[in-house]
Amino acid sequence: MYESYMQRALELAQLGWGRTNPNPLVGAVIVKNGRIIAEGYHKRLGGAHAEVAAFLNAKEDVAGGTLYVNMEPCSHYGRTPPCAKAIIDKDISEVVIAMTDPNPKVAGRGIKMLKEAGIKVVCGILEKEAKKLNEIFIKYITKKKPFVIMKTAMTLDGKIASVSGDSKWISGPSSREYVHTLRNRVAAIMVGINTVLVDNPSLTTRLDFGESRDPVRIVIDSKGIIPIESRVINVESKSAVILATTTALDNEKEKRLIDKGVQILKLDGPRGHVDLLKLMDELYKLEIDSLLLEGGGGLNAAALNMGIVDKVMTFIAPKIIGGKDAKTPVEGLGIESMEDAIKLHDISITRFEDDFLIEGYVKGALCLQE
């Protein structure tokens, strides 16, 4: 019975995708006399937490009920008051928790508060599922860096564009719609300058259902050559545009970009490139907890080389285009020995009409040669 109610809490938590960043996704269910009497979830950053939302939605007095929540109730004052205190004040008799708060500064304190108040606490129900749901928050709060997803789409023979550079469209409509769902979930999307020059994308979210939200749009441009008329700069959107560049950026060009509302981050790295490690630190300071990398082969290689990629999502379309000079998802000079290959673990495969999506997590990311 614990599992079924916790599964419902996890389902509710997912309704907050893309709206709670950098807070976690949390859902809550209150059960009394074998019936669900209240449900709630964290809808947006700064809004009521899941437990409080459930209290507000209660059909009857929650005193004596059992609260199911997929993450340990908070015990500190942040943007909102501590939920553990609210639970105690509502005279809840039992709290069932999927996972403890991963924040090392607060982990376990909420549970301790509840137990000291005489409330029965059960932990670890559907813990694996809860951790996967909040993998972004776990990385962000423990490593103080955004969770990076490298997304690519390629043909069956491993090409991301034809020899002429044509890349529209490798994957099918269903796959592309799912990518926009991902954009709607993450805090930011990142591409390299070559993608801007070749494809001139807007990097916005376009969904046929629900409310679309554009992620912060980040362009890696070491030399500062991005055209002022680029769509990513000029398209109407509430989301910010960040240009990650170096001191090679022309002063006059910088002023024009700032006038356009572009935020400039100058991060000099080796050989005149943008320092991606420093960029991750800066994005953390901006409370950007997640990043969808939709770069070309060069930027993907650099990201893997610097060890910033956490998860890889590759769409494979049943098409063959050939061409020894056609672009591939990861370029650079590559790794010489198979035993040094970057390996993925926890692999899953999902079908989107004719396409297949392979997902996995980077394991022991070794350096790619440049």
**Tokens coding 251:** 């002063």
> How many Cα atoms are found within 13 Å in the side-chain-facing hemisphere of 306?
17
Mean pLDDT across the stretch 6-22? 95
Q: What percentage of the chain carries pLDDT values higher than 70?
A: 96
Show Cβ contacts of residue 329 under 8 Å, excluding neighbours closer than 6 positions.
152, 154, 158, 160, 297, 300, 314
pLDDT tens sequence across 95-126: 999 999 998 777 889 999 999 999 999 999 99
Q: Say yes or no: 199 and 245 in one domain.
A: yes
Is 298 a known ligand-binding residue?
yes
In a domain, 231, yes or no: yes
Q: Say yes or no: 102 and 181 in one domain.
A: no
51 has catalytic annotation: yes
In a domain, 368, yes or no: no
d(CA 368, CA 340): 9
d(CA 187, CA 16): 13
What mean pLDDT, rounded, does the chain reach?
A: 92
In a domain, 369, yes or no: no
Is 367 a known ligand-binding residue?
no
The CATH number of whichever domain residue 97 belongs to comes to 3.40.140.10
Is 34 a known ligand-binding residue?
no
Between vectors from CA 170 to CA 165 and to CA 176, what angle results, nearest 5°?
Answer: 125
Q: Say yes or no: 237 and 90 in one domain.
A: no
Number of H helices, E strands in the chain: 12, 14
Dihedral sign for Cα atoms in the order 187, 188, 189, 190: negative
Is 302 a known ligand-binding residue?
yes
Range of the domain at 203: 144-362
- Binned at pLDDT 50, 70 and 90, residue 339 comes out as confident
pLDDT tens sequence across 29-55: 999 999 999 999 999 988 999 999 999
Mean pLDDT across the stretch 271-296? 96
Q: Please identify which of the residues 51, 127, 331, 339 carries the catalytic annotation.
A: 51
Is 10 a known ligand-binding residue?
no
- pLDDT score at 169: 85
- pLDDT score at 206: 87
For the chain, the domain total comes to 2
Q: Say yes or no: 188 and 210 in one domain.
A: yes
Which of 121, 137, 153 marks a domain boundary? Answer: 137
Which of 94, 117, 137 marks a domain boundary? Answer: 137
